[in-house]
Amino acid sequence: MALALVLVVLLAAVAAAREAHGYVAYNTSAGTVAGLLNVHLVPHSHDDVGWLKTVDQYYVGSNNSIQGACVMNTLDSVVDALARDPGRKFVVAEQAFFQRWWVEKSPQIQAIVHKLVDSGQLEFINGGWCMHDEAATHYIDMIDQTTLGHRVIKKQFNKTPRAGWQIDPFGHSAVQAYLLGTELGFDSVHFARIDYQDRAKRKDDKGLEVIWQGSRTFGSSSQIFTNAFPIHYSPPDGFSFEVLNDMTPVQDDPLLFDTNVEQRVNDFVSAAIAQANVTRTNHIMWTMGDDFNYQYAESWFRNMDRLIHYVNKDGRVHALYSTPSIYTDAKHASNESWPLKQDDYFPYADSTNAYWTGYFTSRPTFKGYVRMLSGYYLAARQIEFLVGGSFTSSLEDALGIAQHHDAVSGTAKQHTTDDYSKRLALGASQVHNFLLQKCFGDKALLVFQTK
C-alpha cells in the first residue's frame, strides 16, 4: 500500500513537471542593449569553392570518403531553419555555390528566400563568386569575380553586400581594404588569419579592430573598419553545435538527465567576458560556424535559441542573433577611437617558423594558366560587346572559381586543381570556337574541331 502511494506521488510529480515544462517559446528577437556586454552571434558556414574535393563534389556531397560536406544540404537546411523563427539569422558568402542552388529551387522556395533576404534574416556578405586569395591573384581577377557575384545578387534580390568576409585567406593585402573594400561600398571587412605574434600583441592592446587605411595616396577615403577575430572563425570552445561533432547541447528539459542550463550560461558568460577583455566597446562577435557546417542547421539554431533565451534571462551579458552589418553599425554607434593601420597583414604565420609563404609560388604552371586566360577573357569580353551575344559565361565562371584562396594559391588537392584546369580549358574552348565561327564561318570551326 505504501509503495503504491509513493508510485502515485511520483507519477503526479512527473506529470506536474511535464505540464510545467511543456513547450518553451524561446525569445530570440532581442536587439542590442545599452549598458551590457552584447554578444553578437553570427551564424555562418565557411564553404570552400574546392579544396579537398572539387567544387561540384562539395555542392552535391559526393566523394565523402575525403570529407563529409554537402553545401546543397546546408542551404536547404538553413532556409528551413530560418523560416521557423523570424529572430534567426544567417550569412552567405560564396555565390558559386548559392547560384547553383538558386536555379534549382521552385518559385515557392525562391519566394521564401526573397522574404528572408528582405527581412535581414539571410544576409549576403562578401558576395563574390568565391572568397578570393589576396596574394597570388591579379587585382583585375579579384574585381571580376566580385563583380560577377554582386551582379547576380543585385539582379535577383536588389541588394548590395555591405561587409567584406575574407575569413580564410592566408594573410591580407592593403588592396583588399580600399579597392575590394571601400571602393566596393563595404563599410567593414572581417577575417581570421593574421600572424600569431601580431594577434597576441593586438589582444594585449585591444587592437584587433582597427581602421585600415589601404592607400596612403587616397588617405581617409580608402579607410574601412576592420575586425580581426581573436580566435579562428569558429566559436569559442564548447559552443560548436554541428550535429555529428562532439558537442555539449543546451539541455533544458527537467524530465531528462543532464539538465545543464545554469552551467551552459555560466560557460557563455565566462567566454564572453574573456573576449571582452581584449575588445574595445561593449560589443563582441562570435562566429558561430566553421567549415561546411549547418548541414543539419536546426542543431545549431536550437542550441543558439536556448543560449540567447537563458543568457538574457540571467542578465549578466546580452546575447543576440546578428550579422556583420548589425555588428558594424553597433561599433560605429559607440563613437570609439580606433587604431590606424596602413600596411598589409603579410606574411602570415600560425606558429614559430610556420610561415604560409610557399603558396606565393606553388603550382606555377596553374598560376600562369589562370593569368593567361584572364587576359584572354578580357579581350573576349571586348569582342563580345562589339559583336553581341554571350559566349564568355563559362570562362567567366571558371575564372571566378579559380580566384578562390585554395585554387590559384595552389593549396588544393591535385584532383581538385585538375578540375579547376578542366573548367578553364572548357571555358576557353567555348570562347575560341565562337571567335573562329565569327571570323571564318562554320567551315573553319569544322576544320578546327577535326584536327
Q: Using the structure block, give the residue that is written with the C-alpha cell 563529409.
A: 68
CA diameter of the chain: 103
DSSP class of 46: B
- Integer angstrom CA distances of residue 92 from 43, 55, 423: 9, 16, 24
Q: Using the structure block, give the residue that is written with the C-alpha cell 539569422.
A: 89
How many Å apart are CA 42 and CA 331, to the nearest integer? 15
Catalytic status, residue 168? yes
Which of 40, 61, 67, 66 shows the shortest CA–CA distance to 291? 67
Choosing from 168, 195, 267, 406, the catalytic residue is 168
Beta bridge partners of 224: 212
Containing 286, the helix (H) or strand (E) segment is strand 283-288
Range 124-136 burial, b when 16+ CB lie within 10 A, else e: bbbbbbbbbbbbb
- The cell for 107 is 518559385
Which of 23, 21, 24, 1 shows the shortest CA–CA distance to 13? 21
- The cell for 423 is 573548367
DSSP class of 210: E
The letter for the amino acid at 253 is D
How many Å apart are CA 230 and CA 40, to the nearest integer? 14
How many Å apart are CA 223 and CA 210, to the nearest integer? 10
- The cell for 432 is 575560341
Q: Using the structure block, give the residue that is written with the C-alpha cell 604565420.
A: 349
Q: What are phi and psi of 124, to 5 degrees?
A: -85, 125
How many Å apart are CA 317 and CA 188, to the nearest integer? 25
- The cell for 160 is 548590395
Containing 197, the helix (H) or strand (E) segment is helix 196-205
How many Å apart are CA 313 and CA 317, to the nearest integer? 9
Cite the active site residues: 168
